[in-house]
């Protein structure tokens, strides 16, 4: 199995084009720049970072709730770890449960 990146811009050199599939020292498939051998990682889509379907992401428009432009919101999501997203989801679920039970914090 190999990662597929149809077209990429290398962050380390001026190369722009298809990536080359290879394996890392541990045998895991990776894509690298064919010019300088810099490892390339596929960009995670914003809805994947949040763990929700694309349709739900587009319908809920979370960037509007955050009072941000969509591009700015998605730029921030690129740097949020999956652990942080999970923590925020658990906190929101807990708040919803407390509200549904009529309790206060």
pLDDT given for residue 75 in this prediction = 86
One-letter-per-residue 3-state SS of the chain: CCCCCCCEECCCCCCEECCEEEECCCCCEEEECCCCCCEECCCCCHHHHHCCCHHHHHHHCHHHHCCCCHHHHHHHHCCCCHHHHHHHHHHHHHHHHHHHCCCCC
Any idea where the domains of the chain sit in the sequence? 8-40, 46-100
Specify the pTM.
0.56
- Each residue's pLDDT tens digit, 6-24: 556 777 787 777 777 787 7
pLDDT given for residue 36 in this prediction = 84
81-101: average pLDDT: 90
């Amino acid at each position: 199995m190999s990662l597929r990146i149809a077209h990429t811009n290398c962050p380390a050199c001026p190369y722009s084009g298809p990536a080359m599939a290879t394996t890392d020292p541990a045998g895991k498939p990776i894509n690298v720049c064919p010019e300088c051998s810099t490892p390339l990682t596929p960009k995670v889509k914003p809805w994947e970072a949040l763990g929700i379907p694309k349709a739900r992401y587009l319908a809920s428009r979370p960037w509007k709730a955050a009072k941000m432009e969509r591009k700015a919101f998605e730029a921030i999501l690129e740097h949020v770890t999956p652990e942080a997203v999970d923590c925020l989801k658990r906190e929101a679920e807990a708040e919803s449960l407390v509200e549904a039970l009529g309790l206060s914090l």
